[in-house]
Amino acid sequence: MILYLKTDSENELIDLLEPYGFRVDDTWSTISFVDDKRCDLDIIGAIYKEVGTEELDGLQIPIMEQLSGFHANMIWPDDVTVPDDISGVTIEAPETPYRIFA
């Protein structure tokens, strides 16, 4: 199943996912195993939306606003119960996800 995660910060997401085998050093470890089943992680980070435009040298430049939260997508094994701490930061699937798993 695909889970859409939203925490207040990157550090909160790190603290949440490290016990499940996702390590953070120079880069995120994006594959782990839960109950011997593969689990994949896609770090989105901050998400921005366009709130207007401004002209610069004859070009229309978008004005972007950061949305709240730090975001990640996760493929969690269908036959493994999602722990309460992860389900507590799981949000509804967005109408237009920023990124999706292929």
Which pTM does this prediction carry? 0.81
Cα 90 → chain centroid: 10
Structure tokens at 86: 């992860």
Return the pLDDT at 27: 66
| pLDDT at residue 33 tops 70 | yes
Return the pLDDT at 24: 65
Question: In the predicted model, what is the mean pLDDT of the chain?
Answer: 89
What is the identity of the amino acid at 70?
F
DSSP state of 92: P
